[in-house]
Amino acid sequence: MQLKRVVVVGAGAVGGSIGGLLADTDVRVTLVARGEHGAALRRDGLSLRMPDRAVWIAPPCVGRVDEVSWRSGDVALVATKLQDAVPALDALLDAAGPGLPVVCAFNGIHGEQWAKERFDTVLSMLVWMPATHLDPGEVRLHSKKCRGVLDIGPYGDDDAGSPAFALAERFCVRLREAGFDAVARADITRWKHAKWITNLGGAAQALVTDDWKSVAAAARLEGEAVLDAAGTDRVPTDELLERCSAVTADAVDGQRRSRGSTWQSHARGQPMESPWLEGAMADLAAVVGVPAPVNATLAAAAQGPRRLTAKEALGG
């Protein structure tokens, strides 16, 4: 499998950072973005601001995947929010067909499952990157020496000798040249399950009015217990945190990173991913018979969305 061009579907915080830095190192990149952000990218290009430098990049940008002239050697990097993943994957299938290699840069674990139902070759990407997207046309990447950890591996295929794994290795080379730490992993799903734990509590950051950190910690403890009860093979959370420890969150233009991706969605007035993060963990908890009331409460509050106190979230 070749890697001649990366088509980034969803050029927000994650997709914009990856696509922007790849383009800055002369990788052929096409961005797909909609709404005001997409219009700004097509009109003015992408402003990517970092603690130590700022770059302006103007790769080709379209509003829909059916506007891309798909060709052999293209790889799609899908970096939408989970609530937008299924429509994006369906549109991508209609436009490019099942033979298109797809890299999933989603939170949680569901996006890869949905992609594998549609495409022959699916790579899963572990994303650990302090990026912010709040304003049209601009992405802020709050990391300096190591821009982010972006490990990749084939989804549903642990054969390190497969063509899909070779593609993951080629993609990682490009990512390292762009300033990321990227390793091809045959056991990428174990790392994605560990990352799911760290995503729990994102709704707390967005919705809890006082001590959101205590609520997030409780949600993660529930998640650990649920995955243990389910017998889910995963990397220990401490090992994941050590893997990503070189990624720091520094100020950009004198401003620290506000908060995470769920908070950013809420701040932009958009739906949150909580049904597939906290909500999915609460659903799994019901199946394996382990209580997860904090995750269930956060998922329900995110549907409103509804603000709540730490006491309410913790059931006090």
Whether 63 and 150 map to the same domain: the answer is yes
Whether 234 and 136 map to the same domain: the answer is no
Whether 87 and 225 map to the same domain: the answer is no
pLDDT tens per residue, range 85-110: 999 999 999 999 999 999 999 999 99
- For the chain, the domain total comes to 2
pTM of this prediction? 0.94
Q: How confident is the model at residue 316 (pLDDT cuts 50, 70, 90)?
A: low
Whether 164 and 32 map to the same domain: the answer is yes
Residue that finishes a domain, picked among 186, 212, 233: 186
Q: What is the CATH number of the domain that holds 230?
A: 1.10.1040.10
Q: Nearest CA to 189 among 247, 274, 123, 93?
A: 123
Residue 120 near residue 103, CB atoms below 8 Å: no
Q: What is the pLDDT of residue 278?
A: 95
Rounded Cα–Cα distance for residues 175 and 177 (Å): 5
Strands (E), 161-294: none
Rounded Cα–Cα distance for residues 78 and 75 (Å): 10
pLDDT score of 315 more than 90 = no
The residues near 256 (Cβ < 8 Å, ≥ 6 apart) are 142, 249
Provide mean pLDDT across the span 3-24. 97
pLDDT score of 161 more than 90 = no
Write out the residue range of the structural domain in which residue 298 sits. 192-314
Count of other CB atoms within 10 angstroms of residue 97 = 12
pLDDT score of 80 more than 90 = yes
Residue that finishes a domain, picked among 186, 201, 221: 186
Residue that finishes a domain, picked among 136, 160, 186: 186
pLDDT score of 261 more than 80 = no
The residues near 76 (Cβ < 8 Å, ≥ 6 apart) are 6, 7, 9, 65, 92, 96, 100, 101, 102, 103
Rounded Cα–Cα distance for residues 75 and 166 (Å): 13
pLDDT tens per residue, range 207-253: 999 999 999 999 999 999 999 999 999 999 999 999 999 999 899 99
Whether 41 and 164 map to the same domain: the answer is yes
Q: What is the pLDDT of residue 255?
A: 86
